Each structure stands twice: as structure tokens, then as C-alpha cells.
């Protein structure tokens, strides 16, 4: 399915579920999300992490509403706690088999967002490994001078900001040297298709979700 449509579908479903309580719909979304992840051959370790990690938040919400609330409401407690898994698993489905580059290209081509936005997202994500290395180098240089820069040290973040500003300037110069001109039409190297099948799946899942929301509690 097209990455942009997957993102929009997950956003709409999550928004509707947050506005209307329907435990049955929550369970159905969770089941279908798990089936989709399994069909895409997700690793068992990743699937277990998606199930175990949100459990703390889900259990906290359930315990607060069921045991520690003045007016205990089991249905509402189950509804809100299962929403945690709905949000987690739908996001996992959106990111499944979708690269950051492909998603940025889809936003530019299919949703017609400005190219500077797509390239800015890619630049920000690709600079993260360089920033991690820069932080390690800053801490190592400080330790050689007898200074220990902790994780929350203002000096560490000030130096990291200077490195980021320098990297941003180098990136801008590099893009201009490769012919990038802001607000100018650019050729497409890799086309992200948006087919009728994508639209059918999009509207089909959206309609089924809304039917479930208004028919089941």
C-alpha cells in the first residue's frame, strides 16, 4: 500500500477511536494489525517487543481506571488500555516495509508537499548518526583535558549545537552544488505509485472501521 495512504489511514483510525469508545473495534484493529505484521514476516523478537513494551502503559491505565478510580468502570478501563495497543500496532503497520526515503518521496509526490520539506526530513534523519559520533568525539576530547561531560551537561549540548549548525551549512552548500534550487520543479528518480488498488484498500478499511465503531460497543 502507498506509504502516504497508510499514514493517513492510521491517523484517521487512531483519531476516530480516540473520539468514540468501542472496545470491539479496538480488538478488531489489534487483530488485523497483528495479522498484517505476521503476513509481512516480522521477526518474532520485534513482534514480542511490540506486545510487551506497551503493556506497562496499558496496565497502568487499566489499573488506574479499574482499581483506583472512585467510580470503577471495567468497560472504559479496557477500552482506554487497548487503545495503547491500537496506536502502537497501527504505527508499526505504517512503518513496516517502508523506508524513510520512500516515505519522504511519497509525501512529495503523492501529497504534493514542498520538496524542501521532504529533503529537510531526509537531511535531519541522515544527520543523526553523525551527531552521535560528534557527541562521542566532544566527550572524548573533554575527557582528554580532564573534563567529564555528563549526558545533561549544558556544555555538551552547546558544542553539539555548534556542530549541527556547521553540518547544516555544509549540507546546504552540498545541495546547491548538486543543482538543488528551492521552489523549482525537479525530476523524479524513483516514482512512488498511487494505484486504484491502494485507494480501494484505503476506503475499504476506513469504511469497515467506521461501521464497527457505530455498530459495536
Alpha-carbon distance of 80 to 23, in angstroms, equals 8
- ∠11-112-186 over CA atoms, to 5°? 145
0.85 surpassed by pTM: no
Is the residue at 185 inside a domain? no
Is the residue at 184 inside a domain? no
Is residue 195 a contact partner of residue 4, using CB atoms and an 8 Å limit? no
**Domain that includes residue 146, residue range:** 115-177
Same structural domain, 20 and 101: yes
The CA radius of gyration of the chain, in Å to the nearest whole number, is 23
Instruction: Assess whether pLDDT exceeds 90 at residue 86.
Output: yes
Cell digits for 144?
Answer: 582528554
* pLDDT, tens digit (0-9, with 9 covering 90-100), for 101-119: 888 888 888 888 877 777 7
Is the residue at 183 inside a domain? no
pLDDT of residue 51: 92
Higher pLDDT, 101 or 202: 202
Higher pLDDT, 133 or 87: 87
Phi then psi for residue 103, to 5 deg, are -70, -40
pLDDT of residue 180: 65
Nearest to 94 by CA among 37, 47, 35, 46: 37
- Measure CA 13 to chain center: 15
**What own/partner pairs with CB < 8 Å and gap ≥ 24 does 131-134 have?**
131/160, 131/163, 131/164, 131/167, 134/160, 134/163, 134/167
Is the residue at 143 inside a domain? yes
Instruction: Assess whether pLDDT exceeds 80 at residue 45.
Output: yes
Same structural domain, 71 and 129: no
Amino acid at each position: 500500500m502507498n506509504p502516504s495512504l497508510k499514514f493517513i489511514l492510521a491517523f484517521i483510525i487512531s483519531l476516530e477511536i480516540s473520539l468514540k469508545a468501542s472496545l470491539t473495534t479496538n480488538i478488531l484493529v489489534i487483530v488485523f494489525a497483528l495479522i498484517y505484521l505476521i503476513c509481512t514476516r516480522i521477526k518474532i523478537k520485534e513482534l514480542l517487543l511490540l506486545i510487551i513494551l506497551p503493556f506497562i502503559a496499558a496496565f497502568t491505565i487499566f489499573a488506574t481506571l479499574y482499581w483506583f478510580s472512585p467510580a470503577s468502570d471495567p468497560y472504559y478501563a479496557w477500552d482506554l488500555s487497548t487503545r495503547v495497543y491500537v496506536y502502537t500496532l497501527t504505527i508499526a503497520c505504517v512503518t513496516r516495509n517502508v523506508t524513510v526515503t520512500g516515505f519522504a518521496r511519497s509525501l512529495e509526490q503523492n501529497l504534493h508537499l514542498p520538496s524542501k520539506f521532504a529533503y529537510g526530513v531526509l537531511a535531519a534523519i541522515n544527520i543523526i548518526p553523525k551527531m552521535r559520533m560528534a557527541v562521542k568525539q566532544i566527550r572524548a576530547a573533554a575527557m582528554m583535558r580532564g573534563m567529564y561531560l555528563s549526558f545533561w551537561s549544558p556544555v555538551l549540548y552547546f558544542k553539539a549545537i555548534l556542530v549541527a549548525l556547521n553540518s547544516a551549512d555544509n549540507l546546504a552548500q552540498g545541495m546547491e552544488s548538486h543543482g538543488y534550487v528551492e521552489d523549482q520543479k525537479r525530476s523524479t528518480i524513483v516514482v512512488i505509485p498511487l494505484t486504484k488498488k491502494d485507494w480501494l484498500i484505503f476506503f475499504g478499511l476506513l469504511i469497515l472501521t467506521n461501521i464497527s465503531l457505530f455498530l459495536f460497543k
